[in-house]
């Protein structure tokens, strides 16, 4: 859940789901460009690194 909150701070919405909130749902449109997809993955990676540094 902290990862979803940190990702939101960076400007992207990450949906945590599942009984324990340990699953994420990616809702990119089928027409997403490679550049936008890569930007989203980079953003999620930065947020994950920040969560693990705490």
45 within 8 A of 3, measured Cβ to Cβ: no
Tell me how many domains the chain contains.
Answer: 1
- Predicted local distance difference test score (pLDDT) of residue 27: 85
Check if the beta carbon of residue 35 is closer than 8 Å to that of residue 7.
Answer: no
The predicted-structure confidence for 7-54, as pLDDT tens digits, reads as follows 888 888 888 888 988 888 888 899 999 999 999 999 999 999 999 886
Query: What global pTM score does this model have?
Result: 0.76
Give the pLDDT band (50/70/90) at residue 4.
Answer: confident
| Domain hosting residue 12, numbered range | 2-53
Q: Could you tell me the sign of the dihedral formed by the alpha carbons of 46, 51, 53, 54, in that order?
A: positive
């Amino acid at each position: 859940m902290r990862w979803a909150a940190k990702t939101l701070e960076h400007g992207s919405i990450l949906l945590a789901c599942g009984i324990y909130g340990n699953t994420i749902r990616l809702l990119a449109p089928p027409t997403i460009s490679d550049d936008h997809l890569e930007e989203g993955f980079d953003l999620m990676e930065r947020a994950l690194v920040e969560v693990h540094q705490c």
